[in-house]
Amino acid sequence: MRQAYVDVAGLRIGDKYPVRVMGVINLSSESFYKGTVAVNEDAIRQTITKLDEEGADIIDVGGASSAPKKIYGTQEIPVHEELRRVTNAVDIIVSMTKLPLSIDTMSSQVAEKALDMGVSAINDVSGLKADSNMATLVSDRAVPVILMANCKPYCDSIQASLESLRGSLSIALDAGIDTNKILVDPGVGFGKPPNVDYELLHNLGAFTVLGQPILVGVSRKAFIGSLLNQPDPEDRLMGSIAATSVAVYNGANIIRTHDVKETRVAACIGEAIRQNGKAGWLSQSGDSQ
């Protein structure tokens, strides 16, 4: 199936375009990985400068952690606090960078404020299912949206993730959201058993049936720590890089990461193998006859 592309403030994602790297800035002290947490102006400025210098294509701004509570003990943050964090930070961020921004939130109130302040896209890990007003907001503002597979308590198979995304796509289309505004995220992590995460990455191509660009986030997640006996996310960089190359090789169009510089290298390798591997094999087969 021919895959669509999505334009985020001039950045084209999907189809035949290069794999993109989405850098993360977390405004939430409760986030599971502290390396990209920025809770004051100096830290925000330092983080944005680093993301810019390391070659991020887009920056994802999060005001409340969505890491699974059962793994990290993540506390739930009220919407008014998430809104305060985002409002305080986005003015600083848009003054510092020309990169497109997305807002990582399940709240239409937070998303609307961020859009008003210059953010270009919405990253909703609930897949439009947490806030009944989110789909209408996306449609009315005609902005790109990332829909993540989100099952309760978690998607326990590829089929479950696909069905969840089909449900989210149905919500989006019913609200009048154009398909050329939608990216999909299979939802690696988020409390799944590690074997399900491995299965998702191995069979990532199954999600091309949805016809939308694919975002994958593997950065420092628990399935890496489980395999390598690394309970501290600080130790999971090498595993994240390995998983990134696999994800790109298997079809990811954009990678969300805490580590932009290293992820760009891993994505470059995965993309080169994806693009040249089959052609090289066919050429060699032809030469041998």
Amino acid at 116: D
Active-site option among 85, 220, 221, 236: 221
Amino acid at 12: R
Task: Evaluate whether 72 touches 110 at the Cβ level (below 8 Å).
Answer: no
Query: In 155-230, where does DSSP find H-type helix?
Result: 158-174, 194-202, 222-228
Q: Rounded to whole angstroms, how far apart are CA atoms 117 and 181?
A: 20
Active-site option among 85, 220, 236, 256: 256
Task: Evaluate whether 160 touches 167 at the Cβ level (below 8 Å).
Answer: no
Is residue 98 annotated as part of the catalytic site, yes or no? no
Q: Rounded to whole angstroms, how far apart are CA atoms 47 and 93?
A: 10
Q: Rounded to whole angstroms, how far apart are CA atoms 88 and 68?
A: 25
DSSP 11: E
Task: Evaluate whether 19 touches 244 at the Cβ level (below 8 Å).
Answer: no
Is residue 256 annotated as part of the catalytic site, yes or no? yes
Q: Rounded to whole angstroms, how far apart are CA atoms 115 and 95?
A: 15
Q: Rounded to whole angstroms, how far apart are CA atoms 193 and 200?
A: 11
Amino acid at 69: K
DSSP 207: G
Strand partners, 102: 60, 121
Q: Rounded to whole angstroms, how far apart are CA atoms 195 and 222?
A: 11
Which residues are tagged catalytic? 221, 256
